[in-house]
Amino acid sequence: MQELKEITKEEVRIKELKINFENAMKDPNFKQFIDQLHYPKNMLIKYTSKFEECCQEVQNCKHCKGIFECKNQLEGHRFFPKIIQEKLYFTYLPCKYQKKVLEKEEKSLQKIMMKDIDPSDKKQLKIIKWLDDFYENFDLVKSFKGLYLHGSFGSGKTYLITALLNELEKTKHVQITMVYFPDALRDLKEDWENFSYKMKNYMEVDILFIDDIGAEKVTEWGRDEILGTILQARMNHHKTTFFTSNLTILELEEHLSIANNSVDKVKSRRIIERIKQLTEDMELISENRRK
């Protein structure tokens, strides 16, 4: 009898979700937004309010003339859904104006050193200590694991690692290559003339920093031929490698398993195992410093 009562409650809940979704679909902007997603309806009805938020932020962006008049919850970004391994996630995507800001930030990152790190954020102290120890002990002759630093959006992951690498490059003359991973894949695909040279550098440079892995669109070519080849070579030659990501290792594994609408967990797991061999896994959850 109890089981029958629980089933009835679930049926009522699903009915309410459907009603809320159908009411939202009466809004032409919302309907247009949903129709473009091509997501299963049973997934859509569970997150009507979040989809409404996404739709509103997309509409805000259409009429926006600059970050100075941004109406979205996170300035310079829009809230947007993404499916990873049949699970729905919501993330923040930078707008065209924010991308210009990020380009300026990238230039400023070239100048920061470890003395510029602010130690007042207690949530960063564990990471800062790791970076200090790494700097003090690093020696090109020895083998050192890098860091897979994941965590909240805008928490300073890239800033911290860049400060360390700039310090190593300036004071210990270490050869460093830093790449924003989505751009690196695009550059490799578009610049075949320098493809071999760039790949050789990614595989052999003293320290490689792959920034924002998991933000890229996954393809079999990018995952297996590019990322897999780079990581295998660096693992074989004990080359230090750093990563930042908004995804945990488990979430990254799910992300990498889907390429061109096909699922390959074996190849995804292979990439993850290489990352684990190359790095220590640490998390940074802190305030959004970009807000």
Give per-residue pLDDT as tens, 230-259: 999 999 999 999 999 999 999 999 999 987
Mean pLDDT of the chain: 87
Residues with Cβ < 8 Å from 85, sequence gap 6 or more?
A: 254, 255, 257, 258, 263
- Please determine, for residue 266, whether its predicted confidence score (pLDDT) is greater than 50: yes
**Pairwise CA distance, residues 133 & 278, whole Å:** 17
Please report which confidence band the pLDDT of residue 58 belongs to, taking 50, 70 and 90 as the band edges. very high
C-alpha to C-alpha distances, 138 to 21, 27, 169, 206, nearest whole angstrom = 56, 58, 12, 11
User: Are 38 and 148 found together in one domain?
Assistant: no
Determine the length of the chain.
291
Identify whether the C-beta of residue 277 lies closer than 8 Å to the C-beta of residue 243: no
Instruction: Say if 101 falls within a structural domain.
Output: no
Q: What does the pLDDT read at residue 117?
A: 84
- Please determine, for residue 162, whether its predicted confidence score (pLDDT) is greater than 70: yes
Instruction: Say if 25 falls within a structural domain.
Output: yes
Residues with Cβ < 8 Å from 76, sequence gap 6 or more?
A: 67, 70, 94, 95, 97, 98, 101, 290
> Which carries the bigger pLDDT value, residue 131 or residue 141?
131
Please report which confidence band the pLDDT of residue 11 belongs to, taking 50, 70 and 90 as the band edges. confident
User: Which amino acid would we find at residue 143?
Assistant: S
Instruction: Say if 290 falls within a structural domain.
Output: no
Please report which confidence band the pLDDT of residue 197 belongs to, taking 50, 70 and 90 as the band edges. very high
DSSP helix/strand/coil, 83 = strand
**Pairwise CA distance, residues 260 & 221, whole Å:** 10
DSSP readout, 225-288?
A: IIIHHHHHHHHHTT-EEEEEESS-HHHHHHHHHEETTEE-HHHHHHHHHHHHHHEEEEEE----
Of the residues 94, 126, 149, which one is the last residue of a structural domain? 94
Q: How many domains is the chain partitioned into structurally?
A: 2
Instruction: Say if 119 falls within a structural domain.
Output: yes
> In whole angstroms, what separates CA 36 from the centre of its chain?
23
By the 10 Å C-beta count (0-12 exposed, 13-18 middle, 19+ buried), 158 is classed as buried
User: Are 176 and 273 found together in one domain?
Assistant: yes
User: Are 131 and 26 found together in one domain?
Assistant: no
* Domain CATH for 216: 3.40.50.300
> Which carries the bigger pLDDT value, residue 93 or residue 278?
278
User: Are 63 and 122 found together in one domain?
Assistant: no
12-16, 39-43, 155-159, 210-214 — most confident range: 210-214
247 φ, ψ (degrees, to nearest 5): -110, 145
Does the reported pTM lie above 0.85?
no
DSSP readout, 116-175?
A: G--TT-GGGHHHHHHHHHHHHH--TTS---EEEEEESTTSSHHHHHHHHHHHHHHHS---
Q: Are strands 77-84 and 87-94 parallel, antiparallel or unpaired?
A: antiparallel
The token pair at 171 is 């004071």
Q: State percent of the chain over pLDDT 90.
A: 51
Q: What does the pLDDT read at residue 57?
A: 92
**Which structural domain, as residue segments, surrounds residue 248?**
110-284
**Pairwise CA distance, residues 65 & 186, whole Å:** 28
